[in-house]
Amino acid sequence: MPQPSSRTGVVSPATRLRKRVIHLGFRLPEGVKRRIAGPAVRIAGRELALDAQLLIALAKRLGVDRLVVGDSPGKTREAVRTHQYILAGLHDGTVTDREIRIDTPDGEILATLHTPAGCPDPSPLLVFFHGGGWVFGSRAEDAPLTRFLAHHAGVRVLSVDYRLAPEHPFPAPFNDALAAFDHAHAHAAELGVDSQRIAVGGDSAGGNLAAALSQAVTERQGPRPSHQFLFYPSTDLTRRHPSRERLANGFILTDDDIAWFQNQYAPASADRSDPRLSPLLGEASPGIAPAYVAVAGFDPLRDEGEAYATALEKAGATVTLDRMDDLIHGYLNFYALCPRFRAAALRTAEAIRTHLSKGH
C-alpha cells in the first residue's frame, strides 16, 4: 500500500480515500454501524462500545488486524504514519508550537512545547511521552493529540521525541524521558511554566516511561514530578497478566504485538525486573507523585495498569483509577472519529486540568 511520507507530506490518493471512508463510516446511522460491526461483543460483563467495534471492523476490511507489520520496525513505522494520518482530525482551538532542544548525556533530542490560547504565565506543564511500543511514534505524529490535550486542559504540553528501539533500546528512552523532565524543571521560567506544577505523562509505552521516571526520582534530592498521568500504561515486562490471555487477539493491539515491542525495547541482555522497565515491580513510596491511571476494558494491558494503580495505593500514594470499560487500547488517538472517543479524550483533558489546578 502506498504510504504518506512524514518528510515530504505527500499522501497517496488511496490513503486519502481510506481516510474519507473511515471518517464517513462513523457518521452512518447506528443501525448501519451495527450491521457493519457485527453482533455486540461482551467479555466478563463488559460490552465493547459500538464505535470501538466499528473501528476494528473497518480496520480489518482495510487489512489491519495488528500493529506490527512484517516483524519490521521500518515497515511498522511507515504503516503507523499512514494510520495516524487517517485518524487525525482538525485541530481544536488555537495552540502555538515552539521547538525545544534538550541536551542529554548521549546528545540532543527535540521536543515541541504546545501553548494554548489564553494560557496563564506561568502555567502547569505536562511533559508528555508518546506511545508506540518504544519503537514507533514521534512528537509530529502525536501532535493532534497533544494539541488537543493542551487546548482542553488549558496547560502547556511538552511533547518529547525520545530515542526509539531497537536502534536505541533500554535504557535510552528512559534516560531521554528523565532528561526532558529535568530540562523542563531547569528552564521553567523561560518556558512560562510553574516549576511546582510540572507533571509527566504518556500513553502506553509513554505511560511506562512516565511511571518509571516518577518512581525513579522519588528518593533523589533533585526535582520530582508534581503528578503522573498514565494512560493505558505498560507496567510489567516480566509476565503476561490475565487480560493479555483473554484479549490476545481481535482488538488491534495483540499479545504478539506486545511481545514483539518488548523484545525490541528490552532485548535478552536486559533485566526485565528492573523497575525502570517494569515499574510494577519497583518500591513505590508514599512520596511518589499523585497518579491518574486510565485503563481500557478491552485492552490486553488493562490488568497491569490496574495492578500498578493498586500497588501505588497500597504504598500510600494518591491514586485515581479511571476505567474506560467499553474502549480499546489507544483510544485517545481516535478522538477525531466519533463522539464516544472524543468524550473519553475530553474526560482525560479534564482530569489533567483538575489535578494540575490543585497544585499538589
CB 6 within 8 A of CB 161: no
pLDDT of residue 3: 33
| For the chain, domain boundaries | 13-87, 95-357
Residue 208 one-letter amino acid: N
pLDDT of residue 219: 83
Taking phi over 0 as left and psi of -120 to 50 as alpha, with beta for the rest, 36 belongs to alpha
- The model carries a pTM of 0.95
Per-residue pLDDT of the chain (360 residues; tens, 9 = 90+): 233 333 345 789 989 998 998 999 999 999 999 999 999 999 999 999 999 999 999 999 888 889 999 999 999 999 999 999 998 887 777 999 999 999 999 999 999 999 999 999 999 999 999 999 999 999 999 999 999 999 999 999 999 999 999 999 999 999 999 999 999 999 999 999 999 999 999 999 999 999 999 999 998 889 999 999 999 999 999 999 999 999 999 999 999 999 999 999 999 999 999 999 999 999 989 999 999 999 999 999 999 999 999 999 999 999 999 999 999 999 999 999 999 999 999 999 999 999 998 754
Record: fold of 95-357 = Rossmann fold (3.40.50)
Q: Enumerate the active-site residues.
A: 204, 299, 329
Q: Strand 123-129: give its sheet, edge to edge.
A: 95-104, 107-116, 156-161, 123-129, 193-203, 228-231, 291-298, 319-328
